[in-house]
Amino acid sequence: MMPEQPVANKPIVWTIASSDSGGGAGIQADLLTFTALGCHGCSAIAGVSAQNSMTLKLIEAVNPALLLSQLDCLLSDMPPAAIKIGLIPDELLLQLLRQWLEQNKPNHSFRVIADPVLSTSNGHNFASGPLINSWRNLLPLLDLISPNLPELALLSGMPDEPVAAQVTQLVQHAMTAVLVKGGHSTDDDVVTDQLFEKDSYFELKHHRIITPHAHGTGCVLSAAIAAACAQNYPLHDAVIIATAYLQQALEHGYPTGKGAGCLQHHSWPAEYRYFPTLYWPEHCEQLPPQRQYAGFASMNTPIGLYPVVDSVQWLKRLLPLKPDVIQLRIKQGSENEIEQQIAEAVQLSHNYNLRLFINDHWQLAIKYAAYGVHLGQEDLEQADLNAIAQAGLRLGLSSHSYLELLRARQLNPSYIALGHIFATQTKLMPSKPQGLKRLGHYAALCRDIPTVAIGGIDMQRLEAVVSCGVDGVAVVSAITKSANPECAFSELSRQFNQFNQFSRESRYAYSAQ
């Protein structure tokens, strides 16, 4: 009998909000969202409501001592990885919450996501002057606040100014990021949310789902952001994940009583159609949206094992083994030396019918008619993507997050590299290893485009990586640091083909069930 595997600890996420007796919003919706996204949810109840699908009849704030006791009791035994703050019906509770965060946040690593509920969809208004001021005083202790357009106008006190000016006014003395929800806009077809961080701004556009079953959308969105933050996703990725989760939940909303129905909580969003299209307005010329781009030549055949080497000498060692695809990543040497190596490598690739990708040096790849170019995200603004496409070259793009993956997809590349999966010594990485769980999530979003896993992959990890559903596996040290590189290549290639066949058969059998 196989020994039981240890159960992984689930990240703990708190919701500090009010109870919805109808079950569609507030504490109840938050806890459902946490569970669906793989977290354990705890609650500190700030208010208790009497409401159903049609109306909110009454809400009462809890005694401040009771809220404080809930917070301290949880912190002593179940400290959070992230906290979501929702409807706080009394300014005294907000003041208490600010004091509690001032005392405890510096000693803990949790992030705080706040949805400033100032009114409800069934018409109840909480927007008193003292409550708004208390929310403003809370801002420096928040990592993100997610107002809708009416809430932003109330918090900023500048309802007639552009959104950017309102955000600036709102956070001029705080480092808080702001997600402005666009659901109240007049556009019938598209919802545009706007994420303002310290040094970045971009828009998330998604299809407006017309449904009467939309109670609790703001609660669910902010709770999903907190759940993703608790799993160490960067804030921009957490917002992207939460947006997709909300779209998925809205699409499957269901009726409850006679009024607005509830969202259907599923699992981690895995279909690309739920994810937003991203826009960087200040870079619209360098990074055109998908509709302006014809795309690049396809890979024609599967990628498979994908060695990455740093010299023509390494290329020559592997060519007798008849590799199908290789990337040449040259980082050292003068301009003339680099050009000579690339020219020789491309000629060799033609002689051996090898699909050769040139890393970074896209001008030389075009000049010598390489099979393709591989670029990092940091190279996109400098590279002439139209020239690469018009030359008939394939384009591979690196990605290290949901944001970079979506950005890459919108350019229709020939393949997307997903990494780095494990710790690697081949280059200095600005992000943490993604791991197998995230690799599976990323690969699921690219069923219609080839993907390559890269970073720290060796023989022992190969099967687990292939089982995540990628089309290729890039290897560097597993070959170049091996005592016998030629044998290492042959065995990795053999094992990849074996694991890939088994993985395809398993996925086919699962989909047929």
Nearest to 275, CA basis, from 232, 233, 237: 237
Query: pLDDT in tens for each of the 513 residues of the chain?
Result: 334 445 568 999 999 999 999 999 999 999 999 999 999 999 999 999 999 988 888 999 999 999 999 999 999 999 999 999 999 999 999 999 999 999 999 999 899 999 999 876 555 667 788 999 999 999 999 999 999 999 999 999 999 999 999 999 999 889 899 999 998 777 779 999 999 998 899 999 999 999 999 999 999 999 999 999 999 999 999 999 999 999 999 999 999 999 899 999 999 999 999 999 999 876 443 344 443 455 799 998 999 999 999 999 999 999 999 999 999 999 999 999 999 999 999 999 999 999 999 999 999 999 999 999 999 999 988 899 999 999 999 999 999 999 999 999 999 999 999 999 999 876 666 678 999 999 999 999 999 999 999 999 999 999 999 999 999 999 999 999 999 999 999 999 999 999 988 766 554 444 444
Whether omega for the bond prior to residue 420 falls within 30 degrees of 0, making it cis, is: yes
How many CB atoms neighbour CB 25 within 10 A?
Answer: 30
Nearest to 360, CA basis, from 344, 346, 345, 377: 377
DSSP labels for 184-231?
TSS-SSEEEEEEE-SS-EEEEEEE----S--BTHHHHHHHHHHHHHHT
Domains of the chain: 12-279 (3.40.1190.20), 290-512 (3.20.20.70)
User: Nearest 5 degrees, angle CA 28-CA 30-CA 35?
Assistant: 100
State the Rg of the chain over Cα.
Answer: 26
Contact 226, 114 (CB under 8 A): no
Token readout for 429 is 């990485």
Across 312-349, b (16+ Cβ under 10 Å) vs e yields bebbebbeeeebbbbbbbbeeeeeeebbebbeebbebb
CA 111/CA 82 separation, integer angstroms: 5
CA 357/CA 354 separation, integer angstroms: 9
Nearest to 365, CA basis, from 316, 300, 414, 301: 414
Residue 354 three-state SS = coil
Residue 308 three-state SS = strand
User: Nearest 5 degrees, angle CA 312-CA 382-CA 203?
Assistant: 130
pLDDT at residue 375, rounded to an integer:
97
At residue 79, φ and ψ (nearest 5 deg) are -65, 145
User: Nearest 5 degrees, angle CA 69-CA 71-CA 74?
Assistant: 105
Burial of 64 (0-12, 13-18, 19+ CB in 10 A): middle
CA 81/CA 104 separation, integer angstroms: 13
pLDDT at residue 438, rounded to an integer:
97
Contact 233, 41 (CB under 8 A): no
CA 459/CA 482 separation, integer angstroms: 11
DSSP labels for 7-74?
PPPPPEEEEEEEE-TTSSSHHHHHHHHHHHTT-EEEEEEEEEEEE-SS-EEEEEEPPHHHHHHHHHHH
Chain center to CA of 497: 30
CA 163/CA 398 separation, integer angstroms: 33
pLDDT at residue 124, rounded to an integer:
61
Token readout for 200 is 């970045």
> Which CB contacts under 8 angstroms, 24+ apart, belong to 455-459?
455/419, 455/420, 455/421, 455/422, 455/423, 455/424, 455/429, 456/420, 456/421, 456/422, 456/423, 456/424, 457/421, 457/422, 459/488, 459/491, 459/492, 459/495
Contact 84, 15 (CB under 8 A): yes
What is the pTM for the complete model shown? 0.93
Q: Angle, to 10 degrees, between the axis of helix 91-104 and the axis of helix 129-138?
A: 10
DSSP 123: S
DSSP 371: S
User: Nearest 5 degrees, angle CA 415-CA 228-CA 374?
Assistant: 20
- The number of C-alpha atoms within 13 Å of 351 and in the hemisphere containing its C-beta is 10
Residues in the chain: 513
Q: Name the strand (E) or helix (H) holding 251.
A: helix 235-251
